[in-house]
Structure 1
Amino acid sequence: MKIFITGSTTGLGFLAGKKLIEDGHDVYLHARNQEKAVKLKQDLPQVKGIAVGDLSRQEDVKSIAKQVNAWGKFNAIIHNAGVYLVSPELTYSVNIEAPYLLTTLIKKPERLIYVSSGMHRGARLDINNLESNLDYSGSKLAVTLLMKKVAREFPNIATNAVDPGWVPTRMGGSSANDDLTAGYMSQVWLAESDDELAHKSGNYYYHRKLERYDNRADDEKLQDELVTKLEELTKVEFG
């Protein structure tokens, strides 16, 4: 299979990419800049390609989409990249604008996987001021809403979200007490598995099992409001 992963120089994205390469897939990864791309190629020499660009910059995101499209159609794309404890503007750009743009601009794959977080449950989400009033928890509710919207609009694509748990990555920190391997294996499973459940759509998983999520994610009006706002902010029509 042919698989692309964003935010894959470190952490869960890197580990998922490494496992998928070991499993024999054609894996394409993403690095924020050329220096990180060189290091990534050294760490994973079997990677088929590395898209380079900063997800906080809209023009870079559009460039990443062009790079990925030049490689042809993919079987699976994992929207893994994310930032934590940064400004609302950066949280917006990386955690929701970038996956929205890449979802829209990259040729549709057979499977789409979005990395959410259990922190989305009960989160505050101010859609009217999305670009200036968004915290990490709210961004993950937005990602889950986006997943649900994509699953609704593109029923032929297996589109799902994953809660990786609180795992000891650079983002999670050393106090994290969840299982690191389980933190990326749901993404790997959804990308490569022939299991019937992995071919379903619109689900939210934790460690390869269906998990409870904030029921606001099923609100189609809220899904549409989010996407309308993203269209307005990016000037890129959803589709």
Structure 2
Amino acid sequence: MARILVTGSTDGIGLETARTLQGLGHDVVFHARSEERAAALGDKPEVLVADLADLGQTREMGRTAGAFDVVIHNAGIGGQDERRETGDGIERIFQVNVLAPYVLTALMPRPRRIVYLTSGLESVGVADLADLQYERKPWHGMQAYSDSKLHDVALAFAVARRWPEVYSNAVDPGWIRTKLGGPNATDNLPEGAETQVWLATGAGDALVTGRYFKRRQDLRPNAAARDVRYQDGLLAACAALSGVRLP
């Protein structure tokens, strides 16, 4: 039995992932952005509460969450019609989708396995280190989302390179019918959870690192994700914004 944290696990793919892992007999800790969402789970699972759009709460969660065998960074938000900043003065998509998993990775004890959820839209993401938060270029919500998903793949690969003892991988769950995916999405919830469950608990082919998967298939990511200069630049930018350095 493994102790596993799934962020953003009060609904959608995160909830499906957490429930599937529970059904397999693992000790699963859920994560909610508010006490109200935690209470809505209903059956009193162990839940960590932190709004990942708040740096203070994210850092506190990283420092106090404790040790896990597996961490699945599932939490994320989609494209926004207009550019919005959090209370920390950081563009919201970048803070929730990229900076939060970076901070948690840097502050929590190293697990044996880490999974970062991305999207097939990482293929059109742009590795623009000069303007990660769309402070100068025109706002485009879906492009900002796509960029964030490329950053997540680069983060997974950077962690794999720096921490060779940790299995760190990225997963595209597919276009899943959830609040984020919308009613026209092509795939069902169980499909959206399958690969990260396999990477979290499997043996053999699941014991790999620095890979990008969909439906357990090893795919070729956006070429930028493997650029070490981009990876290191992204880590440096996240460290400067958060005040937290990846060990």
Same fold (TM over 0.5): yes
Q: Which residue of 1 aligns with 2:210?
A: 202
Alignment of 1:1-239 (within 5 A): 1-40=2-41, 42=42, 44-45=43-44, 47=45, 49-69=46-66, 73-86=67-80, 87=83, 89-133=91-135, 135-194=144-203, 196-239=204-247
1:82 alignment partner AA: G
1:104 alignment partner AA: A
Taking the aligned partners of 2:242 and 2:99, their CA distance within structure 1 comes to: 8
1:155 alignment partner AA: P
Q: Is the 1:53–1:61 Cα contact (8 Å) retained in structure 2?
A: yes
Taking the aligned partners of 2:226 and 2:33, their CA distance within structure 1 comes to: 33
Listed one character per residue, the Cα deviations across residues 134-176 of structure 1 (whole Å, up to 9, x for unaligned) are 7100000001111110000001101100000111011000000
Q: Over aligned residues, Cα RMSD in angstroms?
A: 1.3
2:187 alignment partner AA: D
Q: Cα offset for 1:67?
A: 3.3
Taking the aligned partners of 2:134 and 2:57, their CA distance within structure 1 comes to: 20
Q: Is the 1:5–1:30 Cα contact (8 Å) retained in structure 2?
A: yes
Taking the aligned partners of 2:111 and 2:172, their CA distance within structure 1 comes to: 21
Q: Cα offset for 1:180?
A: 2.6
Taking the aligned partners of 2:150 and 2:162, their CA distance within structure 1 comes to: 18
Tell me the percent identity. Answer: 36
Alignment gaps of 5+ in structure 1: none
Taking the aligned partners of 2:226 and 2:128, their CA distance within structure 1 comes to: 17
Q: Is the 1:92–1:132 Cα contact (8 Å) retained in structure 2?
A: no
When structure 1 is superposed on structure 2, of 98-107 and 177-186 the one drifting more is: 177-186
1:68 alignment partner AA: A
Q: Is the 2:102–2:155 Cα contact (8 Å) retained in structure 1?
A: yes
Q: Is the 2:16–2:189 Cα contact (8 Å) retained in structure 1?
A: no
Taking the aligned partners of 2:183 and 2:220, their CA distance within structure 1 comes to: 26
Q: Which residue of 1 aligns with 2:139?
A: none
1:189 alignment partner AA: W
Q: Which residue of 1 aligns with 2:138?
A: none
Q: Cα offset for 1:212?
A: 2.2
- Equivalent pairs counted in the alignment come to 231
Taking the aligned partners of 1:6 and 1:55, their CA distance within structure 2 comes to: 10
Taking the aligned partners of 1:53 and 1:219, their CA distance within structure 2 comes to: 32
Listed one character per residue, the Cα deviations across residues 59-95 of structure 1 (whole Å, up to 9, x for unaligned) are 01012113312xxx21100000000022361101100
Q: Cα offset for 1:192?
A: 0.9
Taking the aligned partners of 2:19 and 2:171, their CA distance within structure 1 comes to: 18
Taking the aligned partners of 1:218 and 1:113, their CA distance within structure 2 comes to: 17
Q: Is the 1:128–1:229 Cα contact (8 Å) retained in structure 2?
A: no
Q: Cα offset for 1:209?
A: 1.2
TM-score, structure 1 normalization: 0.93
2:114 alignment partner AA: L
Residue 124 of structure 2 aligns to a residue in which SS?
A: coil
1:121 alignment partner AA: S
Q: Cα offset for 1:179?
A: 3.6
Taking the aligned partners of 1:122 and 1:10, their CA distance within structure 2 comes to: 27
